[in-house]
């Protein structure tokens, strides 16, 4: 079973571990909540690194429109963070390939009569807004499946919950408690809490899936780029 904890439970546990129970005047609840969420975001990145993107990925669909090659990912829920794969989800479907900047002109060639997308590129703006460019030009009404890792979703209300799976919520609790200890000048306690955070990550690493580093994780496509000139799906 999962181990779901509310924000209020995580906050009170952080106060307890920092030996600051009831010290709301010295450590405002809003500050502790901010530290809990910052610890959660750091933990999220650690979890991706340890267990892989597949562990946290979700998916959403894009419906293509006419005369459009760029599709915003801003509306993805939960918030888009990291792209893991793109595929055409039509009539059997097939994965799209990432294209580089030097390939774009050829893929936009108006003499190209291809009406099925074969390539994609993820683009980000300075405002951290992401969009997905899909080429060549394609017809409307196609479904593009996008696999992605969502970003950390801040806990805001006392009843908001975090699933610690098997006690992994200790990481964010210890992170917030350590921040309180540092503000109080309790260096020894802060060091102990830092070690507890490291122990939590070691636990997760011990149960992470073992990967064979001597084999490709997927069968490689050795057919060559000419296969992409075919019309998908075959007529």
**pLDDT tens digit string along 98-140?**
999 999 988 988 776 567 899 999 998 776 678 999 999 888 9
pLDDT by residue (tens digit) across 56-92?
999 999 999 988 999 999 888 878 999 999 999 987 7
CA distance 114 to 29: 58
CA distance 152 to 32: 17
pTM: 0.79
pLDDT above 60: residue 27: yes
pLDDT above 80: residue 181: yes
For residue 63, with 0-12 CB atoms within 10 Å meaning exposed, 13-18 middle and 19 or more buried, which class applies?
A: exposed
CA distance 147 to 135: 18
pLDDT above 80: residue 193: yes
CA distance 59 to 82: 11
pLDDT at 114: 62
Largest Cα–Cα separation, the chain: 71
Beta bridge partners of 187: none
CA distance 213 to 180: 41
pLDDT above 80: residue 217: no
Q: Are 148 and 71 in contact (CB under 8 A)?
A: no
Segment (H or E) for 98: strand 97-98
CA distance 128 to 109: 29
């Amino acid at each position: 079973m999962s181990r779901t904890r509310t924000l209020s439970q995580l906050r009170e546990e952080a106060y307890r571990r920092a030996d600051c129970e009831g010290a709301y005047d010295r450590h405002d609840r809003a500050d502790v909540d901010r530290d809990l969420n910052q610890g959660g975001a750091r933990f999220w990145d650690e979890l991706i690194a340890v267990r892989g993107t597949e562990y946290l990925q979700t998916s959403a669909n894009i419906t293509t429109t006419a005369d459009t090659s760029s599709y915003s990912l801003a509306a993805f829920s939960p918030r888009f963070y990291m792209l893991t794969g793109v595929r055409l989800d039509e009539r059997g479907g097939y994965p799209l390939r990432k294209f580089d900047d030097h390939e774009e002109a050829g893929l936009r060639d108006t003499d190209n009569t291809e009406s099925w997308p074969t390539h994609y590129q993820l683009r980000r703006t300075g405002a951290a807004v992401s969009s997905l460019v899909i080429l060549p030009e394609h017809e409307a009404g196609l479904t593009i499946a996008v696999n992605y890792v969502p970003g950390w979703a801040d806990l805001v209300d006392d009843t908001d919950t975090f699933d610690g799976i098997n006690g992994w919520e200790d990481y964010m609790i210890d992170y917030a408690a350590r921040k309180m200890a540092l503000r109080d000048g309790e260096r020894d306690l802060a060091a102990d809490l830092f070690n507890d955070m490291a122990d939590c990550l070691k636990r997760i690493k011990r149960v992470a899936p073992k990967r064979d580093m001597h084999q490709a994780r997927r069968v490689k496509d050795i057919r060559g780029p000419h296969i992409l000139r075919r019309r998908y799906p075959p007529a």
